[in-house]
Structure formats: structure tokens, C-alpha cells
Structure 1
């Protein structure tokens, strides 16, 4: 069998190389569901999620510290920025996971964490995300026939938290598991959502 001339192979070789170099498409979404360590843990296993970053959003202070936020008065909530591949998972799927990892009835708190920084909220980044967020909130309200405390506010800015907060549940597994257990998060989620608690696998 005769081999193909090198000149004929070059376009194939360069085509493969360009495909490998093509950056992965990324979209972003921001969710506030109480302790951002727990929200990271909820989204990291979702197929198509590329990264999660703990931080702050929804407030008036630029580049706040963790201590400033938890002390109150900044208007910020603890949030997680989720970067994802929209070809593998969409915003509606992420909303499904979000709701099943929060207590949607709690006002200015989530589980054992109380105060404005721990409110649940959605921060849509465009009109499509807002429409989906509003529709999902309406569906949750109809399902439970109860008022929902979760806020929807247009995204303005995201400020990453200090490095020691990033991937905390992986860096400090013993401390994290003790905190999560003492906080009663899993029990409350099971009480509200039953077998759907956690949101995975996706429907």
C-alpha cells in the first residue's frame, strides 16, 4: 500500500492540531446557597461543570474580605461562580441542582448559618438566564404551594474569596464534614426534597 504524499497529509495534521488548540467553550453562572464551601461541593460533580470559585456578589463594597462580608453591612452574599460547558450541561440543569441544595423557604439564612450573607439568591447574567431563573422559582413555589425566599437579582460583579476558601471541602475534609454534619444541611435537604436532595443525577 502506497503512503499518501506528505503535502496531502499536512492539512489533516494541521486540522487536528487546530482542533486540539481550540479553547473549550465556557459559560458562567452565579449562585448563592448559603455556605459557599457546600455549594462548590454540590456543583463540582455535575458533568459539564469546568470549575467552581467561591466568592461574593450582590453587595455594595468592592473586593470585600470574608471578614467584612460575614460581619454584615456589605450587602454581599456568599456565592459560587460556576464555569461550565454549555454543550454538556445547560443553565436549566444547573438550576435543578441549585434548588435541590438549598432551603428555599429560609429568609436570610441557610441551615445553621444566619444573616444576610447566607441568603439564597440567583444572579442571572443575561435575559435568557433571568427568564429561566424566574420560571424555575415559579415552579418551586407551585410545587410547594408556599412563598419562596430565594431572591433573583441581576448580576453586577463577582469578587473571589480568599484562596483558603477555594475547594475547602477537598483541602480540609475532616473539618468540612464536621461543619456540614453539625449544620444539619443534609437532613434539612432530605426533609424538603426527599430523594431529589442534592439534585444528582440530573433528570
Structure 2
């Protein structure tokens, strides 16, 4: 059957809308997720605090901040790569704000320790905030100033622009779920929870 003039005109109109949308690129509100990157010592221990937050979509353990491409765990642990153990968070900013992520970050690190975190010593385990964009940088700096005022000490946690993040090996991902007993023993034996309670209280 030969298409009517109306059908032909409608098809042309729809094609025009499609081409216009393609040329303009995706709509601004298509971006429904955001990323946050934090280093706070052993990445095993930084996953669970964020993983349980409503609005957090995923938490990946990995390495960032250094110069070695595609680093392995033995390479990072040995030093010389410049990388730190870190977590990269994908979240829905409509459900959880970056300020909340910052709050969770601070209360799970010792921001006064510049030589590592808890029993893990060395630059691989330093605490850092890697910001994605100017707004995250602004909020991170404000939160750091507030923490310094609260603790009445200089906070040594660095704030740096985010760079390439390399996911760690599979056996490191969701370690607290895969090995709950070992995870709990490690946290306790490392003195992590004891120091966090000393800094921030039981809550």
C-alpha cells in the first residue's frame, strides 16, 4: 500500500526530531549518576561504609593517584607506583548528596595521620580525597576546614583532582562480603575501630 501524504509528512517530521536530538547530544538530565573517589587506608575497610548508603550504586576497590599504568596489588604494595589504595563510588546525587559521602569518609579515617592509616603504614595507605569537578573540590575543602575545627588539629588528608582509577583484582572486591570473619578480624587486629571510636565516638 502506498503511504498517504500525512504518513509521509509525519515520518519526515519524526526523522527531523531524531536528527536534531542526535546533533545536540544527550539531554543534560540523562546524567543520573556521579562518581566520588576516596582513599582511606586499606580499601577493604572503605567499601562497607559506603556500600550500605541508600543512593550508592556501586563501590569499587582500586588504585589511583600514581604514575604506573594498570598496576597490580603486589606492585602497589611494594611502593614506587605512587598509587594509593582507594575506592571509587558511583552514586545517584538525587538520593545521596556528596556532602553525605564526605561525612562518611571523614568518620572512617584518621585525618591526623600522614604516614598511613591505623596498622597499615606507608604512602600507599595515606588518606586522600580525589575530587571530580569544581563543586566537589569546594565541598571537600569546606568539609576539611570543618573537621579541623572540630578536632582542633591540623588535618593532613590531601585533596587532589581525580585521575585514572584502576580497579583492583577480583578477590579484593566486596571483601567484607566474601570473607566476613577475616574482614572483622583484620579490622579489629589493625586497631581501626578502636582509633575511630577514639576520634569520633561510638557512633
Q: Deviations over 1:41-80 (max 9, x none)?
A: 1111111111100001111111100111111111111000
- 1:39 and 2:46 are equivalent in the alignment: yes
Partner residue, 2:13? none
When the two chains are superposed, the root-mean-square deviation of aligned CA atoms in Å is: 1.4
Which residue of the partner structure matches residue 17 of structure 1? none
Q: Which has the larger radius of gyration?
A: 2
Of 155, 158, 176, which aligns to 1:151?
158
Number of the residue aligned with 1:175? 182
The TM-score normalised by the length of structure 2 is 0.83
Deviation at 1:108, TM superposition (A): 2.4
Relative to the length of structure 1, the TM-score reads 0.83
Where 1:153 maps in the other structure, the secondary structure is: strand
1:188 pairs with 177, 184, 195, which one?
Answer: 195
Would you say the 8 A contact 1:24–1:85 is kept in 2? no
For structure 2, list consecutive stretches of 5 or more residues without a partner in the other structure: 1-28
* Stretches of structure 1 lacking an aligned partner (at least 5 in a row): 1-21, 197-203
Deviations 1:142-169 (A, max 9, x none): 1112111101111111000000000011
Give me the whole-angstrom Cα distance separating, in 2, the residues matched to 1:58 and 1:78: 9
Residue in 1 that maps onto 2:24: none
Secondary structure of 1:32's counterpart equals strand
Does the residue aligned with 1:50 lie in a helix, a strand or coil? Answer: strand
1:55 counterpart residue number = 62
Q: In structure 1, which of residues 126, 131, 137 is the aligned counterpart of residue 138 of structure 2?
A: 131
Q: Kindly indicate whether residue 86 of structure 2 is the aligned counterpart of residue 79 of structure 1.
A: yes
> After the TM superposition, which parts of structure 1 deviate over 4 Å for at least 4 consecutive aligned residues?
none
Inter-CA distance 155–147: structure 2 relative to 1 (3 Å threshold): same
Q: Distance in 1 between matches of 2:54 and 2:162?
A: 24
C-alpha distance in structure 2 between counterparts of 1:173 and 1:188, whole Å: 21
